[in-house]
Structure 1
């Protein structure tokens, strides 16, 4: 079973989470058979290990982590790989895949350009 974690930085402002949670809801809508959760690096909960444990407890055996970072800064480049390796060590029977930072995906780049020039659906 597939699990997807939408992973973001985190903030003390509870409204900051709304777009992150909207992405998770859209994933759940498009893949109702998947287990989906949000996790945060700091300042918000749950953290990545807690979210992963929850999805695994719900039956996920493959977990994809979608980093909602605009670019490959220190968190995506250094902190996240360490967290993913720890998860792999803690859950050797689960396959973890860390996707590229969302902001570096060509489809998102095109969508942002479309929004800027008024072509977005």
Structure 2
């Protein structure tokens, strides 16, 4: 089983995680056979080790961590590599990969520019 883990910072605000969970729901809608979970660095549960361990216990043979960070700061440069190293050490027989942070991906950067210009998803904005 292949699984995706959407990894975000976390917040004390209980509504903060809604966009991350919405991305997970949209992945599940687009690819029902893909297992997707959310994990957080701090202030929100569950954390990355807990989610990864649970997925491995459920039979995952590969995990892809997707850092949901717009900016690549200390968390993406330092904390995440340490967490990835620990996961790979704990689960040496599992293929564990990590994508670049979403804020480094041209597709998202182009979409953000389109949103700022008011041109993205014209169907949604015309309904509002």
Q: Using structure 2 for the length normalisation, give the TM-score.
A: 0.91
Deviation at 1:117, TM superposition (A): 1.0
RMSD of aligned residue pairs (Cα, Å) = 0.9
Gaps of 5+ in 2: 122-128
- CA–CA separation in structure 2 for the residues paired with 1:23 and 1:54: 20
Gaps of 5+ in 1: none
Residue number in structure 2 paired with 1:109: 109
Residue number in structure 2 paired with 1:28: 28
- Structure 1 segments, 4+ long, off by >2 Å, are none
Deviation at 1:30, TM superposition (A): 1.7
Deviation at 1:82, TM superposition (A): 0.5
Deviation at 1:56, TM superposition (A): 1.5
- CA–CA separation in structure 1 for the residues paired with 2:12 and 2:26: 24
Larger radius of gyration: 2
Please give the per-residue CA displacement for 1:87-112, whole angstroms capped at 9, x wherever unaligned. 00101111111110101100000001
Q: How many corresponding residue pairs?
A: 121
